[in-house]
Amino acid sequence: MRRKTVLLIMVCAAVVSSGTPVNSQEIRDEVIVLSDRVGQEIDLNERTLYKLFPNIEGFKQAVLFVTSTGNYFFRITCQGTTEGEERIRHLDQTENDINRLREYIDHFEEIKAGTYEFALKHREAPKAAEQIATPLDSLVTVSLKDGSLLKGKIRGKDDQTLDFVTIGGLEIRVPISQVESVELFKGRVVAGTFQRDDPNYSRLMFAPTGRPLRKGEGYFSDYYILFPGFSYGITNNFSLMAGVSVLPGLGLADQVKYIAPRVGFNTSKNVSLSVGALCASFADEYAAGIAFAVGTFGPLENCFTSGLGLGYTSGEDGDFEFAKNPIIVLGYNKRLSNSMALISENWFITGEGLTLGQQPLSISLRFFGDQLAADVGFIIVGEVIKHGLPIPWLSFVYNFRK
């Protein structure tokens, strides 16, 4: 009997000195700041502002933890059933969930204004009631497992269904089990109808607009089939375009190679500004290009672009010589339908004594879907038309956003 009593005392002492497994786990868990906007704790006001944890009743606060094994979870404190009682709930999250939620909070105003697109893609099925990265009442695309797409707003959700309202106002209850993904959709609602984004929103026919490429977004472009290139948004404000011509009969060393860095900002919903330079080399001996500043003003479906460019050349000696007078660029983009726009781009070369009939003016129709856009039009030079037809224009862009 005495030996059993001593053994029991030793066991109790070990438990007291080491703590319970739950407390041990809590000690090893590390608090993570989801965003500087909310700090270490998401309180009730922040939950309401950002529309987080929509189906957790009695919410008081939430704290994000990462475990020693790299797993993430929210520790959520809720009001209990009786006064003064608190309930603790753990909500597991993946790293992708956390990154997407952080991006959502950091760019909340831009997302609500429709000027920001998530760079991080949600690759997992939504977590029923706990899919906090997609806020209620935001315009979203719901992809179903049968391949169907729904565009509209999520009004509410529970463990089994999404309460969904389409752009046309049709109310649908969508089973969670049939949902493949939920994403803020690439487009807007204008006058009660869905309007898709122009995949080539960052350019006119050739010249850039003031609108920068979004982070993680890019496109393959081709002008006259002979001048292909790639552009990529490294950040939301910096992008890089590069390419090489494929002129028949010339070796790689004799082809035209070009690169064009650009820095841009959406200063407001309807104003965007960019600066950058186009640098091209010819036969690895001569170089030419243009430094530019450009602004775009107005909504996506009806906007005006103006810019200044200063050309330069460089010879074998490597010395750069800039033009004495700038080039003025004026452009216009008018949405005609959900898949077509009218584009105009006009260059005015100053200081060379050129008349209006000698300046290159251009106009085209842009046909586009969700990711592909093609411009078909003409470059109109009055002096050239006197002796024949306008110069045809053909280009296309494939935007490889998800």
333 Cβ contact partners less than 8 Å away, ≥ 6 residues apart: 198, 204, 209, 300, 302, 303, 305, 341, 342, 343, 344
> Is residue 396 predicted with pLDDT exceeding 50?
yes
Mean pLDDT taken over the chain: 82
Structure confidence at residue 263 (pLDDT): 96
If asked whether residues 153 and 221 sit together in one domain, one would say no
- Are residues 210 and 188 located together in one domain of the fold? no
Does one domain contain both 361 and 395? yes
Which of 195, 224, 254 is the endpoint of a domain?
Answer: 195
**Range of lowest pLDDT (134-138, 168-172, 306-310, 385-389):** 134-138
Beta strands of 159-217 (E only): which ranges?
161-166, 171-175, 179-184, 187-190, 193-196
- Write the pLDDT tens digit of every residue in 67-85: 877 888 888 888 766 666 7
- Band of the pLDDT at 133, cuts 50, 70, 90? very low
Residue 356 counted as domain residue: yes
Same domain, 285 and 165: no
Structural contact between residues 345 and 331, judged by C-beta atoms closer than 8 angstroms: yes
Phi first, then psi: give them for residue 62, nearest 5 degrees.
-140, 140
CB within 8 Å of 16: residues ≥ 6 apart = none
Residue entry with tokens 């033009």: 323
Phi-psi map region of 143: left, alpha, beta (phi>0 left; psi -120 to 50 alpha): beta
HSE-CB at 159 with a 13 A cutoff on CA atoms is 1
Give the CA distances from residue 66 to residues 32, 33, 195, 208, 384, in Å, rounded to whole numbers and listed in that order.
7, 10, 41, 44, 68
pLDDT of residue 170: 86
> Are 186 and 215 part of one and the same domain?
no
Burial 134-152 (b: 16+ CB within 10 A, else e): bbbebbbbbbeeeeeebbb
Q: Does residue 65 lie within any of the structural domains?
A: no
pLDDT, residue 21, reads: 37
Please compute the mean of the pLDDT values over residues 31-35 and round it to a whole number. Answer: 88
373 and 240 within one domain: yes
Token pair of 137 as six digits: 């009442």
Integer Rg of the chain from CA:
29
Residues 6+ away with beta carbon under 8 Å from 269? 113, 114, 115, 299
Domain co-membership, 185 together with 228 = no
Between CA 243 and CA 220 the distance in angstroms is 10
Mind listing the pLDDT tens digit for each residue in 185-230?
666 666 667 778 899 999 999 999 999 998 888 999 999 999 999 9
Residue 19 forms part of a structural domain: no
Tell me, yes or no, whether 191 and 211 share the same domain: no
CATH number at residue 127: 2.30.30.100
**pLDDT tens digits, 265-306:** 999 889 999 999 999 998 777 889 999 999 999 988 899 999
Q: Which domain covers residue 189, as residue numbers? A: 118-195
Task: Answer yes or no: is 14 within a domain.
Answer: no
Question: 393 and 255 in one domain?
Answer: yes
Boundary-marking domain end, from 178, 195, 212? 195
Task: Give the alpha-carbon dihedral of 34, 40, 45, 48, to 10 degrees.
Answer: 30
Burial of 40 (0-12, 13-18, 19+ CB in 10 A): exposed
Cα 396 from Cα 374, distance rounded (Å): 4
Q: How many domains does the chain have?
A: 2
> Which of 170, 195, 220 corresponds to the end of one domain?
195
User: How far is the C-alpha of 128 from the C-alpha of 142, rounded, in Å?
Assistant: 13
What is the rounded distance in angstroms from the CA atom of residue 94 to the CA atom of residue 111?
22
- Whether residue 17 lies inside any domain: the answer is no
Tell whether 47 is covered by a domain.
Answer: no
Distance CA 256, CA 364 (A): 25
Asked if pLDDT for residue 326 goes beyond 60, the answer is yes
Instruction: Write down how long the chain is.
Output: 402
Cα angle, residue 54 at apex, residues 48 and 60 outer, rounded to 5°: 60
Give the model's confidence band at 121: pLDDT under 50 very low, under 70 low, under 90 confident, else very high. very low
Q: Is the dihedral of CA 222, 223, 228, 231 positive or negative?
A: negative
Q: Tell me what pLDDT residue 186 has.
A: 67
| CATH code: domain of residue 224 | 2.40.160.40
Tokens of 139: 């315009």
Whether residue 235 lies inside any domain: the answer is: yes
* Cα–Cα nearest to 302, from 342, 266, 335: 335
Residues 237 and 352 in one domain: yes
Check whether residue 234 and residue 374 sit in a common domain: yes
138 vs 89, residue with greater confidence:
89
Please indicate, yes or no, if residue 124 is contained in any of the structural domains.
Answer: yes
Average pLDDT over residues 372-398: 93
Percent of the chain exceeding pLDDT 70 equals 81
pLDDT > 90 fraction of the chain, expressed in percent and rounded: 38
Instruction: Based on the fold, state whether residues 218 and 161 are members of the same structural domain.
Output: no
